[in-house]
Structure formats: structure tokens, C-alpha cells
Amino acid sequence: MSDNVTPALREFLVQRYDDLKRRLTRHLGNAELASDALQDAWLRLESREDLGPVRDMGAYLMRIAVNIAIDHQRSRSRVLSAEEIEGLLEHPETSPGPAQVAEARSDLDALVKIIQTMPERRQRILLMVRWERLPQQEVADRLGVSLRTVEQELRKAHDFCATRLSRSAEPLRKK
């Protein structure tokens, strides 16, 4: 393969558009967003002529499209659901670069600090359901509370994190 793979990536995108859109729709949960992201990926490729070798064209294009979709979501100031976040993060075909790893660590540090400011029971419920992946009924049984309490605390924890995370991202958007 030549040093500049941009034409090959564009050709791959055209030939495999339906498959890429189907996979991206599954990850994002929204066919329109997937279509928009792939169109923007094409435009981004049109403006780039200096790409070096790419090991897996499909994974590379999916990562571009997922990143574009994330940018679209952020620009709409919409909070992603837990399922949407998991869908975006569940892309095993690519490994993050150093900048992505650093950004993810920074985001994780911010999230940990936010979680630590929550009441203890809310923290425990959030971690048991989302980190340990325990069923909500089991969490309720372990903590000696009702299922409704677990559901309410989990919703409050999600809202709390989403609000605090969006506030911490605002200074970055204003730059």
C-alpha cells in the first residue's frame, strides 16, 4: 500500500457504505446520526491528503465516524444515555492513541471526583449497578432497600454526573 491511503479509504467507504452505516447505526442507536457521521467522514477524507498507512480501513473509518458522531452529540448539548455511551465505547477493532488515552484518563479522573461528592448510598448503588454490573434487584437486596429506591438513586446519580460533566466541559467549548 502506498504512503497515502486517502483514495483507498474513500473507495472503501463507497464500496462498504451500507455495511459501515449498519454497524455505526448499531453502535449509535440512530440511523440518521450514522448517515450524517459517514457523510462528514467522507468530507474529512476529502480534505486530508497526508494520511500514512492504515492497518484496518474499516476500523479506521468507524473510529472517524464515531468521533464525528460524538462531536455532533456534544454540539447539540444532548446528554448521552448509558446505553449510547457503552455503544460508542464498544468498538474493539481499534486501539486508542496516546492523545485519546490521556483524554480518557482525564475524563475518568473528573468522573471519579464527581462520584466522590455524592452521598455514600448513591455512590454504592451507582458502582454496584454500573461497575459491578449487578442487577438492580440484587443491589436492593444487598443494601436492604426497595427496588424503587435503587432506581431513584441510580437516576439521581446519572443526572448528577451528567450535570457536573457538562459543566466541566463548558470552559473547553468557550475557547
| CATH number, residue 46 | 1.10.1740
C-alpha distances out from residue 41 to 1, 27, 99, 144, 171, Å:
21, 16, 20, 50, 27
Residue 158 sits in a domain whose CATH number is 1.10.10.10
Instruction: Provide the residue range defining the domain that includes 119.
Output: 96-175
**Which cell is 120 given?**
455514600
**23, 82: one domain:** yes
Same domain, residue pair 89 and 110? no
For residue 175, the model assigns a pLDDT of 46
Residue at which a domain ends, from 36, 71, 95: 95
Could you tell me if 3 and 89 lie in one domain? yes
Task: Tell me: do 104 and 118 sit in the same domain.
Answer: yes
CB atoms within 10 A of CB 134: 17
Same domain, 112 and 90: no
pLDDT at 171: 53
pTM over 0.75: no
Examine the domain organization and report whether 7 and 62 are in the same domain: yes
Residue type, 64: I
Total number of domains constituting the chain: 2
Q: What is the pLDDT along the chain (175 residues), one digit of tens a residue?
A: 445 677 888 888 888 888 888 988 888 788 888 888 888 888 887 777 666 777 888 888 888 888 888 877 776 655 666 777 677 666 655 666 787 778 878 888 888 888 899 999 999 999 999 889 999 999 999 999 999 999 999 999 989 988 887 776 655 444 4
**Of the residues 95, 122, 155, which one is the last residue of a structural domain?**
95
**Cα–Cα distance measured from residue 149 to residue 136, given in angstroms and rounded to the nearest whole number:** 10
Domain boundary among 37, 64, 95: 95
Residues 87 and 104 in one domain: no
Q: Please give the pLDDT value at position 152.
A: 95
pLDDT at position 92: 56
Cβ atoms of 66 and 91 closer than 8 Å? yes
